[in-house]
Structure 1
Amino acid sequence: MSYIHFDKAQLINLNYSLDREIIRTNRSGTYTSTTIIGCNTRKYHGLLVVPQPQINTENHVLLSTVHETVIQHGASFNLGISKYPGNYSPRGHKYLKDFDSEPIPKLTYRVGGVLLQKEMILDTNRDRVMLRYTLLEAHSPTTLRISPFLAFRGYHSLSKENGDINKDFKKVPNGASFQLYDVYDPLYLQISKKAEFVYKPDWFRNVEYILERERGYDYQEDLFVPGYFEFSIEKGESVIFSAGLTEADPKTRQSAFQKEIERRIPRNNFENCLKNSAGQFIRLRDGDTRVIAGYPWFGWWGRDTFVSLPGLTLPTGDYKTFLAVMDTMSKDLQGPLFPNVGSGVNFNMNSIDAPLWYFWAMQQYILYTQDSKTIKKRYLDKMKGIIDGFKNGTDFNIHVQENGLVYGGEE
């Protein structure tokens, strides 16, 4: 049993389970987030939420959720759950037996004589989520059906039924790819074994996110379901559903899933929990290494980066990542100031203390490593530029006074 565990009594109580959320990230800036029963309650929830830099600097929800259906003797049992006006449908949470978090999120469903386990993991460096289904018990032939709910929208937005989407799909090995709008990357949905894709496009309208309603925001959206994947599964067999921005090799999904588990830091003590959490904020993409100020909705911010970076990297000996982040941030320097709140083109430059935290972070590196030579070689010119900019005065009336103190601020 993991250190975070929920039993059936807790899971079927929606007032309890919908208040408990999962969020996991990877090094490419992709994340997956939902509640412990798989019912999304925020517009920021999604199984695959990814950067789309060709559009903007925000993350985008491509795959909102999936609904699984267990079929035996012609009878169907839908394990999914979504909120609609006035009710939840389907009510698959009633089949839940328990939830474990270690080493990865794992749900176990009991449907009559069927015991089905569902595990979820992100590829460390790729924009891909994998779901592993294992049939633990079954007394008769069993079929599993997976219906993907597609959003293809920015995570601050909501999707609505429209005639502009591209409903077509392309066949790929053991699956299909979808690209609802031309500006987006294609989404590849694949199964680790031979599976049938049944094309049955439809909109599921007025899906509700209860936490957005509580916050006073728009809270209803329409999600596009292009059809479903269907395959047989035998007792003891594991089948993987993969969703990513690049085509995967179905034959390697089992080994890829296992390798990802082995890469996880076991959260079996306090120190390992800290190490595990620290790694979730580092993002390496397009040659830049950044610290995300917080998931799901923050970007990379100057002050937050320099305050947190030493603690996220130096105690674990990850000096390479420390320097990679400082290199990336140094490229953002404009005059003596760093971008602070925001990301990409949506930021402000009025943080008087971010350049000072830049110096402080360098000091922490030297204290840990005794390596002042690297700092001088890489950053001394940048540091001199900051000092000169503060002494000579810069934007927002930031300057050094005669008494040596830094002053800033305008009416």
Structure 2
Amino acid sequence: MTNLQESLTRELLRTNRSGAYSCSTIVDCNTRKYHGLLVVPVPELDNENHVLLSSLDCTVIQHGAEFNLGIHKYQGNVYSPNGHKYIRELDIEKVPSTIYRVGGVVLKKEVVFQHYENRILLRYTLLDAHSQTTLRFRPFLAFRSVRQFTHENSTASRDYEEVENGIKTCMYAGYPTLYMQFSKKNQFIFSPYWYRGIEYPKEQERGYASNEDLYVPGYFDMNMRKGESVVFAASTKKSATSSLKKLFDKEVEDRHPRNNFLNCLITAAHQFHNRRGEERYILAGYPWFKCRARDTFIAAPGLTLSIEEVEYFEKVMKTGIHALKQFYTGNESTEPIYEIDKPDVPLWCLWAIQQYEDKVGKEKCAKMYGAFLKETMKFIESNKHPYMTVEDNGLLFVDGGKEKAMTWMNSTANGHPVVPRTGYIVEFNALWYNALRFCAEMSPSDSKDAQHYEALAEKVKESFVKTFWNQYGYLFDYVDAGEDEQDWSVRPNMIFAAALEYSPLDQSQKKSIIDICTRELLTPKGLRSLSPKSSGYNPMYVGPQAQRDYAYHQGTAWPWLGGFYLEACLKLFGRSRLSFVERQMIGYEDEMFQGCVGTIPELFDGNPPFTGRGAMSFAMNVAEILRTMELLEKMNYNTEGTK
């Protein structure tokens, strides 16, 4: 904790399951512009999150001497104050709990974000003190978008009003009022000051502007007795201060303990929940991702079904299917789900429903989603999608992929996709074949629908192998029929043809694909997005935005792809690969202590030491690791009912 080279690389994330979050490093030194103690959406302004309260410095005062427990990085590589040197212990099993020692004073700080409310709660407990002790709290305010910076200006309002055991203030018109209150009476001293030149090294690494000024309106003072606790609440609503201690205890009780790998992932899964009224969504990741359609359907089974939360899956799918139906009918979506128009989104939605059927059974699945399955297949076959058509050979053909990113490999440079995938795309058609066979299974066996899906599936199977299989024993990533162009790059997208429940490949072809992926793409952190033997391999996701865009899908490793690879291994080789899959899981378990503690980042460098990069927590990665763990558990226990 006292070694900043170690502690500043580790972050803690707390969310309220309604879009707001609280995030910083484990020593509470903000290193990103996305960091903040209270970061909330402000829909009246835009669709971004906004940092209201950046941080809260606590100062211990004894015999007139002040010991500030905070820490900020300023320009010139200066850290001040150096409150991290007083840290003696950090425990995050239930909620983040930090113990500070200043001489004879031992102070404990615990943090929790109230579920479904924009309210962060901090509890300070004076565990030991040999003389009168005063605590001073100094709030650092930003009132800005997570994508911008604030600087000293004359527009910011200094006005505040005293409320019960605290104050309320709002720096700019259009923003919600920020309430800062304590469970105990205190004295607020108005002492406005701008702290200039605070710097965020993570933004420097990413090639962005990196410094700002933060406004401190004053400070709160209160005397504390040994053994006494006080709860601080920062919220966009007024708090009932007399109930803050009970509220804190209740929120702690509701938390899932992070005492092993699985429980860490379950806690991470819940952080992606997003509730707006009666609607339920899945955020694609933190801190900058919103709800994206493809990510929602890929992540939903792992984040819900794999941890026995079937009801939440149904709620998420209800929202997602509503958005898809609006798209099918040409209506503008009323749901805040982005990229609903991507061609593979309906296919991933059908795959998610297939995982639901595996969990609850055919009868319940047909009752819930039977009509939607038929509607989706009709939409696809009618060639109503603006970017995708069903060709005479039965395969799906995507048009315009060189001008606009159509697949999950969606990074762009100079207005064009870095990986321009167009025409017959391998995972689209693997998903299409799987969807046809699944829909045939879900239809009455003697119905016209079942016969139609089966007949089309046979045509797709023959065309798939003829179009994608090459003489070197793997699949082309895409084939553009219009230009007779075949992409020979060894990419992970072919693994879906071996991993899905219904595959157009035979066993020997699946084995060949798995062997290629094992030799050229497999890392301890998932599959590389491009083989080191292929042209353009660029495995290090570092540097300015443009440099990172070119590396994003050109060799970086993705855990969610690793999930499908491991599923393919288990399906093809059975129990003989159990120990191999378990060893792969260890590579992810190590990440619980790195980066954002207790979760999995967006991607990893494709070369050793496979450093985590990008967003600090990524839904599809967490989901697929959870789904792989469920597959492992099933295989461990399905042999004659014994392990």
TM, length-normalised to structure 1: 0.91
Alignment pair present for 1:335 and 2:327:
yes
Q: Which has the higher contact order (CA 8 A, sep 6+)?
A: 1
Q: Tell me whether 1:66 sits opposite 2:56 in the alignment.
A: yes
Q: The residue matched to 2:286 in structure 1 has which SS?
A: coil
| Aligned mate of 1:160, from 141, 151, 167 | 151
Equivalent residue letter for 2:138: S
Deviation, structure 1 residue 381 = 5.0
Structure 1: 5+ residue stretches without partners: 1-10
Asked if the contact 2:294/2:340 (under 8 Å) is kept, the reply is: no
1:37 paired to 2:27: yes
CA–CA separation in structure 2 for the residues paired with 1:116 and 1:15 = 24
Counterparts of 1:93-132 in structure 2 under 5 Å?
Answer: 93-132=84-123
1:58 aligned partner, one-letter code = E
The equivalent of 1:366 in structure 2 is 357
Return the alpha-carbon distance in structure 1 between the equivalents of residues 236 and 327 of structure 2. 37
Give the 3-state SS of the residue equivalent to 2:81 in structure 1: strand
Aligned-pair distance for 1:331?
2.7
The C-alpha deviation readout for 1:203-248, integer Å capped at 9, x for no partner, is 1111100111111101001111111111111100111111111111
3-state SS of paired residue (2:54): strand
1:42-61 superposed matches below 5 A: 42-61=32-51
Residues of 1 paired with 2:299 and 2:387: CA distance? 27
Q: Distance in 2 between matches of 1:375 and 1:188?
A: 49
Paired residues of 1:115 and 1:135 also in contact (CA < 8 A):
yes
Counterpart for residue 295 of structure 1? 286
8 Å contact kept, 1:332–1:338: no
Alignment of 1:81-230 (within 5 A): 81-86=71-76, 87-230=78-221
Q: C-alpha offsets along residues 33-78 of structure 1, whole Å, 9 cap, x if unaligned?
A: 1111110000011111111112222111111001111111111111
Work out whether residues 265 and 276 of structure 1, in 8 Å CA contact, stay in contact via their aligned partners in 2: yes
Q: CA contact under 8 A between 1:42 and 1:210: conserved in structure 2?
A: yes
Within 5 Å, give how 1:315-330 maps onto structure 2: 315-330=306-321
Q: Contact between 1:335 and 1:385, CA under 8 Å: does it hold in 2?
A: no
- Letter matched to residue 251 of structure 2: E
Task: Report the CA distance shift for 1:82/1:403 in structure 2 as closer, same or farther (over 3 A).
Answer: same
- CA displacement 1:5-51 (0-9 Å, x = unmatched): xxxxxx22222211111112221121111111110000011111111
Using a 3 Å threshold, how does the CA distance of structure 1 residues 389 and 107 change in structure 2: closer, same or farther? same
Does the 8 Å CA contact 2:379/2:385 hold for their aligned counterparts? no
User: Which residue matches 1:8?
Assistant: none
Asked whether the 8 Å contact 1:399–1:407 carries over to 2, the reply is yes
Residue 251 of structure 1: how far off its partner (Å)? 0.8
- Which amino acid is the alignment partner of residue 19 of structure 2? G
- Structure of higher CA gyration radius: 2
| Number of the residue aligned with 1:6 | none
Number of residues of Structure 1 aligned to a counterpart in Structure 2:
396
- Is residue 362–residue 375 contact of structure 1 (8 Å, CA) maintained in 2? no
- State the shift of 1:337 in Å: 9.5
Query: How many angstroms apart in 2 are the aligned matches of 1:382 and 1:29?
Result: 29
Q: Give the match for residue 236 of structure 2.
A: 245
Note closer, same or farther for the CA distance 1:371–1:180 as it changes in structure 2 (3 Å cut): farther
Q: Is the 8 A contact 1:337 1:354 kept in 2?
A: no
1:270-302 superposed Cα distances (whole Å, 9 cap, x missing partner):
332222221111111233211011111111111
Q: Is the 8 A contact 1:38 1:80 kept in 2?
A: yes
Please say if residues 338 and 351 of structure 1, whose CA atoms lie closer than 8 Å, have aligned partners that are also in contact.
no
| Distance in 2 (alpha carbons) for counterparts of 1:215 and 1:392 | 44
The aligned counterpart of 1:388 is 378
**CA shift for structure 1 position 170:** 2.0
User: Does the Cα contact within 8 Å between 2:109 and 2:122 map onto a contact in 1?
Assistant: yes
What code does the residue aligned with 1:392 have?
S
* Residue 260 to residue 314, structure 1, CA distance change in 2 (3 Å): same
Instruction: Report the 3-state secondary structure (helix = DSSP H, G, I; strand = E; otherwise coil) of the residue aligned with 2:142.
Output: strand
Higher helix fraction (1 or 2)? 2
Find the residue that maps to 1:335 and give its secondary structure.
Answer: helix
Structure 1 runs of 4+ aligned residues shifted over 6 Å read: none
Q: Which amino acid aligns with 1:329?
A: G
Higher strand share: 1
The root-mean-square deviation of aligned C-alpha atoms, in Å, is 2.0
Q: Give how far 1:370 is off.
A: 2.1
Q: 1:349 to 1:313 in 2, by over 3 A?
A: closer
Matched, 1:24 2:14: yes
Alignment partner for residue 409 of structure 1, among 399, 407, 422?
399
> Does the 8 Å CA contact 1:144/1:232 hold for their aligned counterparts?
yes
- CA deviation vs aligned residue, 1:165-196 (integer Å, no higher than 9, x gap): 22111222111111111211111100011111
Equivalent pairs: percent with the same residue? 47
**Which amino acid in structure 1 is aligned with residue 3 of structure 2?**
N
Q: 1:305, CA displacement in angstroms?
A: 0.6
Any residues of structure 2 matched to 1:263-278 within 5 Å, and which?
263-278=254-269
Change (3 A) 1:374 1:53: farther
The counterpart of 1:312, out of the listed 287, 303, 307, is 303
Distance in 1, matches of 2:149 and 2:53, equals 13
Rate the CA distance shift 1:352–1:337 in 2: closer, same or farther, 3 A. Answer: farther
Distance 1:239 1:348 in 2: 45
- Matched-pair contact (CA < 8 Å) for 1:61–1:153: yes
Change (3 A) 1:309 1:253: same
Change (3 A) 1:313 1:160: same
8 Å CA contact 1:310, 1:364 repeated in 2: yes
1:156 Cα deviation from its structure 2 partner: 1.1
C-alpha spacing 1:267/1:69, structure 2 compared with 1 (3 Å)? same
- Specify which of 273, 279, 287 is matched with residue 270 of structure 2: 279
> Which segments of 5 or more consecutive residues in structure 2 lack a partner in the other structure?
403-643
Does the residue aligned with 1:257 lie in a helix, a strand or coil?
Answer: helix
How far residue 395 of structure 1 moved from its aligned partner, in angstroms, is: 4.8
Partner of 2:3: 13
TM-score, length-scaled by structure 2:
0.59
Alpha-carbon distance between aligned partners in 2 of 1:48 and 1:169, rounded to the nearest angstrom: 18
Q: 1:117-156: CA deviations, max 9, x gaps?
A: 1111110121111111010110111000100001111111
Deviation at 1:396, TM superposition (A): 4.4
Cα distance, 1:373 vs structure 2 = 4.5
SS of structure 1 residue aligned to 2:300: helix
Q: Matched residues in 1 for 2:201 and 2:150: separation?
A: 16
The 1:20–1:397 alpha-carbon spacing in structure 2 relative to 1, beyond 3 Å, is closer
- Report the residue type matching 1:367 in the other structure: D
Give 1:387 deviation, angstroms. 2.5
Determine the C-alpha separation between the residues in 2 that align with 1:372 and 1:157. Answer: 51
CA distance in 1: counterparts of 2:290 and 2:359, whole angstroms? 27
The 8 Å contact of residues 160 and 222 in structure 1, kept in 2 or not, is answered as yes
Distance in 1, matches of 2:278 and 2:146, equals 24
